[in-house]
Copies of this chain bind each other. A is one copy, B any other.
Amino acid sequence: MTESKLRELYEQNLRQMDNLTEKQQNILKAALSLFAEQGFDATSSSQIAKRAGVAVGSVYQHFHNKRELLMAVLTPLTKSVFSQAADQFIDKTLDKDYNSLEQFIRALVADRMLFISNNREEFKIMLGQLLSDNQLGPELNHAFNEQPKTTAFPIIDRLKKKKLIIDYPNDVIVQFVFGPLVTFFGKIILAIKPMPIDQEINYAVGLIVNGLTPRSN
């Protein structure tokens, strides 16, 4: 299971910002929670300062403006974690010669669902920015468009050869697998009834696998 690794990676990323004082760390944490609660625009510098227990000026000591602070909050998610995790995923999970579709789907869904669950606050912030910021969208297109080509596509192709997966375009398949993940995220955002994550995974895997498995006739 790669999940523990993810947490580790995240923590590691935070520690990499090691030029940060304890107070600056507090500012980062305060900003993270406030951005998630109220959104970026609705959060004022003085609010952040108050929650972090520092003076307003201190917010601007290390992070030279609010946007930079936002980026500092999102970076561990987008940059490092995203790609590193993805790389890890290739190495440790996807790169095995999957014989069964289910093994593949289960690994992927579990990994990503835990990732979403563990980073829900950051994801909320990112989504919020995506809605207003017209710059972030294109940046993420890569992650969602290009990454699968080198990671998931080869595996899908292999499964296709073995007739273990339905013959739909690769991107359509990927998009379909993402469905339950995105819905899961949606539920988190809407604070909708929590279902034990194992159950959530099991149901999702069951339905996705069924959906992707070719009918014999």
Does chain B have a CB within 8 A of A186? yes
Q: Which chain A residues (196-214) contact chain B, with CB distance < 8 Å?
A: 203-204, 206-208, 210-213
Jot down 11 A-B pairs with beta carbons below 8 A, ordered by A. Answer: A38-B132, A39-B132, A127-B127, A128-B128, A141-B192, A144-B192, A172-B207, A176-B183, A179-B179, A210-B210, A211-B211
| B-side contacts of A144, CB under 8 Å | 190, 192
Q: Is B138 touching A128 in the complex (CB atoms < 8 A)?
A: no
- Min CB gap A125→B, angstroms: 8
Within 8 A of B (CB), among A178-202: 178-180, 182-183, 186-187, 189-193
Q: Name the residue of chain B whose CB is nearest to the CB of A191.
A: B137
How distant is A50 from chain B, measured CB to nearest CB, in Å?
15
Q: Mark A150-193, 1 if CB is under 8 A from B, else 0.
A: 00000000000000001011001001101110110011011111
Docked pose: A189 CA to B133 CA in angstroms: 11
Determine whether A17 belongs to the interface, using a CB cutoff of 8 Å to chain B.
Answer: no
Alpha-carbon gap, A128 to B140, bound state (A): 18
Residues A42 and B211 in contact in the complex (CB < 8 Å), given A168-B203, A182-B179, A191-B138: no
Q: Count how many chain A residues have C-beta atoms less than 8 Å from C-beta atoms of the other chain.
A: 46
> Does A124 interact with chain B (Cβ within 8 Å)?
yes
Select which of B39, B138, B186, B210 is within 8 A of A211 by beta carbon.
B210
- In the assembled complex, the Cα of A207 lies from the Cα of B165 at a distance in Å of 12
Q: Which residues of B contact A38 (CB under 8 A)?
A: 132
The answer, yes or no, to whether A37 is at the interface (CB within 8 Å) is: yes
> Does A18 lie at the interface of the complex (its beta carbon under 8 Å from any beta carbon of B)?
no
A19 in contact (CB, < 8 A): no
Residue on B with the closest CB to A141? B192
Partner of A183, one of B41, B168, B178, B213: B178
The residue in chain B whose Cβ has the minimal distance to the Cβ of A37 is: B134
- Chain B hits for A132, CB < 8 A: 37-39, 41-42, 128
